[in-house]
Amino acid sequence: MAYLSLTGLSKQFGQTIAVEHFNLEIERGELVSFLGPSGCGKTTTLRMIAGFEYPTTGQIVLDGVDITHLPPNRRHIGMVFQSYALFPNLTVAENIAFGLKIARRPLEEIRKTVQEMLDLIHLSDYGNRYPYQLSGGQQQRVALARALAIHPRVLLLDEPLSALDAKIRVELREEIRRIQQTLGITAVYVTHDQEEALSLSDRVVVMNAGHIEQAGTPFEVYNYPKTRFVASFIGQLNLLPVQVSDPARGVVLFKNTPIQVELTAPLAGVSEATLALRPEELNLGEVPGRNHLRGKVLDVMFLGAIVRVRVDLQGHEALADLFNERQMSLPRVGEEVTLNFPPHACWIIHE
């Protein structure tokens, strides 16, 4: 049995259903992130694990014990909040010691743990400062240390980086992952930022409108999205309307141009469908054995490592992400270009 299992979880606020039919098993030491747009139920689910909300139906079992109706202060689950939530009247060290003092740990142990935690977050000399004397990033590190000091059974992080600026966000995200792996702690991370979710999770749970759309490794979720929502929510995606012409061999037509698709699901009985294609799978020029689409360049965005070309394919826009090279000649606006991509790069969505 999994370390933390959520079974048939649902939550209703009055008439609104925030979460429904939520089933998930989380293994010990795993970092799972809940990814989705705001209002998708990811925070509500996290708050049910924390005990701040009680589920309308369903069960939460942690380490073999049903904790569904246990009050939050008896769950031994650490939580990091978007707004840091440090106690303004306590110093950094006192904040970190708070949970240990409540647990009535011996003073010597508290002192030692606090110092360990301060070292862990690289704020060894900041113990005597007050939260208002720290930057946002430092405050969030302290909040992390405070949550970890009690050696929680699970660490919950509710959009912990959303209030920080871009550079700190990336730094701290790597640090969270490092600490989580060092301590081998089980963590659930809520975010609406796909890059964050993909880069630090063992598994990503994509949520929409209160239910799970797909759960899998970042690689799976990005490359093999199971639903249209997942496909379009994670990463950029080109969607082209196509007619199925040969369902058996996987040939579809886009404005009379045949496209070979590697079949993953049968197409029999389907006439209209959508072809999905990641921009980074598209290249310029003609290559034998690949699919080709002709179009007109609408604009060219130089993003550094990537050159993003927007192409008009007979009334449908598509993006092509090309890797930057020094010898490369950038396509010009208005130029006619040919885009190529292999059959295995695209897939058919029909719902």
Partner 1 sequence: MSQGPSIPLRQRLLSWFFLFLGALYFFLPLIATLEFSLRAKKGVLSFLAYERVLRDPKFVQAFTFSLEMALLTVIVGVILVVPTAYWIRLRLPQLRPIVEFITLIPFVVPAIVLVFGLIRVFSRPPLLLTNSETGTQILLVAGYVVLVLPYLYRAVDTGLQALDIRTLTEAAQSLGADWWTIITRIIFPNLRSAILSGAFLTITIVMGELTMASFLVGLRAFGPYMSQVGQNRAYEGAALAVISFMLTWAFTTLFQFVGRRALGGDQTFVAR
Residues of this chain that bind partner 1 (CB under 8 A): 50-52, 71-79, 81, 83, 85-91, 98-99, 102-103, 130-133, 143, 146-147, 150, 156
Sign for the pseudo-dihedral over CA of 49, 51, 52, 57: positive
Closer to partner 1 at the Cβ: 70 or 170? 70
Closer to partner 1 at the Cβ: 75 or 203? 75
Closer to partner 1 at the Cβ: 164 or 198? 164
Closer to partner 1 at the Cβ: 85 or 183? 85
Write out the two tokens for 23.
């089933």
Sheet holding 306-313, edge to edge: 283-284, 336-341, 291-302, 306-313, 316-323
Sheet holding 154-158, edge to edge: 77-80, 154-158, 187-191, 31-35, 203-208, 211-216
CB of 46 to partner 1, least distance (A): 11
CA 14 to the chain's CA centroid = 29
CB of 43 to partner 1, least distance (A): 12
Q: How far is CA 32 from CA 12, 35, 194, 197, 200, in A?
A: 24, 10, 13, 9, 9
CB of 178 to partner 1, least distance (A): 22
Q: How far apart are CA 173 and CA 167, in angstroms?
A: 10
CB of 157 to partner 1, least distance (A): 12
CB of 128 to partner 1, least distance (A): 10
Closer to partner 1 at the Cβ: 123 or 234? 123
Q: Say if residues 210 and 17 touch (Cβ distance below 8 Å).
A: yes
Bridge partners (DSSP) of residue 257 are 254
